[in-house]
């Protein structure tokens, strides 16, 4: 990252990818817990290579349509399995201790109904599941959006949950802008 770049400091989405890139290897299994418009799905598919696998979850059909199109345009459709279901069910599709990285990008789907957002309790349950699936050295990435009421509650709950991981040997960090007019999105990262 170049401090002279006008996008410095980087947006949480770009920073998450930058921090995960050296962790994910060709052949890895990874999870995009919130496929959304497919930006993280494409990133993950690029990282795992032809021998790897990406599981991409979303409860909104519009998200999966958009993500599928983006992944196909990038030439990665054979690397991604799309699941039209809650990320809480990710453990039904992969073995515990086998996943290199799980990415969450919380909030609502850009360009769609802003009242349809990720839900705090469901997110916490999905994070618990993700923690079980990560292999040693695996990374959990969560972008929170506290700028709207539901997002603020969810962000606070997720941050508390992530901070507690440090008590069980995880390395946990928080990255985000300060001094903004309204609460800015931030990135939480945890490594087993």
pTM: 0.93
**Going by C-beta distance under 8 Å and a sequence separation of 6 or more, which residues neighbour residue 82?**
35, 56, 58, 64, 67, 68
**Mean local confidence (pLDDT), 168-182:** 93
pLDDT band at 70, cuts 50/70/90? very high
pLDDT band at 1, cuts 50/70/90? low
Tens digit of pLDDT for each residue in 146-156? 988 888 999 99
User: What per-residue confidence (pLDDT) applies to 9?
Assistant: 79
User: What per-residue confidence (pLDDT) applies to 192?
Assistant: 87
Question: What b-and-e string marks burial along 126-152, b requiring 16 or more CB atoms within 10 Å of the CB?
Answer: bbebbbebbeeebbbbbbbbbebebbe
**HSE, side-chain direction, 13 A CA sphere, residue 73:** 12
User: What per-residue confidence (pLDDT) applies to 162?
Assistant: 96
User: What per-residue confidence (pLDDT) applies to 41?
Assistant: 98
pLDDT band at 112, cuts 50/70/90? low
What domains, with CATH codes, occur in the chain? 12-191 (3.40.50.150)
């Amino acid at each position: 990252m170049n401090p002279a770049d006008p996008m410095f400091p980087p947006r949480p989405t770009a920073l998450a990818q930058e921090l995960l890139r050296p962790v994910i290897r060709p052949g890895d299994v990874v999870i995009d817990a919130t496929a959304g418009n497919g930006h993280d799905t494409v990133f993950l598919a690029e990282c795992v290579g032809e021998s790897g696998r990406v599981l991409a979850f979303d409860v909104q059909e519009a998200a999966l349509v958009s993500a599928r199109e983006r992944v196909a345009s990038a030439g990665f459709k054979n690397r991604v399995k799309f699941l039209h279901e809650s990320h809480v069910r990710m453990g039904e599709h992969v073995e515990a201790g086998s996943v290199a990285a799980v990415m969450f990008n919380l909030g609502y789907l850009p360009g769609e109904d802003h009242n349809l957002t990720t839900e705090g309790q469901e997110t916490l349950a999905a994070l618990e599941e993700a923690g079980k699936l990560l292999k040693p050295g695996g990374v959990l990435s969560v972008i929170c959006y506290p700028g709207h009421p539901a997002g603020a509650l969810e962000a606070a709950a997720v941050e508390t949950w992530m901070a507690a991981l440090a008590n069980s040997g995880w390395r946990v960090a928080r990255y985000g802008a300060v001094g903004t007019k309204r609460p800015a999105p931030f990135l939480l990262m945890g490594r087993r």
